[in-house]
Chain A
């Protein structure tokens, strides 16, 4: 009877350890793909390419739901996630990170704003006058 009890305990511990192991592995894979650094880079480049392809009077609408979730988790207001200064885009999803990328289309972009909770709106005005 005692021997049977030992086998059962060993098996349960073995199964629990396996489950813990695979859970950690899966969490690691998901966390890597949704990290601030990856998302910041991806959104910055996406926005830069959108603006590069745009023309005056266009309105660009980008779904940034993933960015919103992560920013709020990290204590960054969603309204402060995207900033555009001259022709440089800055995305900030955590207090210790941030990513900048430039676009070459010489358009004047109004300060981006949030719409329908998860969308960012980029309004393309006229072309800038080169110095």
Chain B
């Protein structure tokens, strides 16, 4: 084989390598940018924070949440209004018919006994996503965040409050 022929073979190999490298870079860039940004965990965290702020201020339950006799005034009918939440979503992917959020609030006393009915709002069908993901996380299921904190009422009684915040919006956050 003369030198010219060898040079040609080398340049063919060189172009083959270039095409493989280009193919790899195209594939990686496409895979990276075609995945939507997943903001559901952030949303669920903010939702839980907003609810915590709505229930308690400076370590004490707000007056709109509990009365002087220690009765919890929050219920599933007035929850969204009292906490200034709006679960309406854009009319895409049939979202108007299936709510994309779920919230559940439980009030316990210091002995960890439930002291009132659980307050919830949103799509109850999303709880199953949280149960399934207790051990492993699955991208295509709704994101669940659980928060708990202690607070006091006017009479210095202690309460443990658990907030479960769930955000679905899968179609716009996961490919």
Contact = CB atoms under 8 A, between A and B. Distances in A.
Interface residues of A, number: 31
B116 interface: no
B169 to A, nearest CB: 8
A41 B22 contact: no
Contact of A86 (B36, B42, B81, B88): B88
Interface string A89-131: 0000000000011101111000000000000000000011010
A105 B85 contact: yes
Contacts of B161: none
B6 to A, nearest CB: 13
Contacts, number: 71
A102 B90 contact: yes
Main secondary structure of the interface of B (DSSP, over half): helix
A32 B29 contact: yes
A18 B80 CA distance: 61
Interface of B: 7, 11, 18, 22, 25-26, 29-30, 33, 36-37, 39, 42-43, 46-47, 49-50, 80-81, 84-90, 92, 101, 172
- Closest CB pairs A-B (n = 10): A106-B86, A130-B81, A127-B84, A106-B84, A102-B89, A100-B90, A45-B39, A52-B46, A32-B33, A87-B86
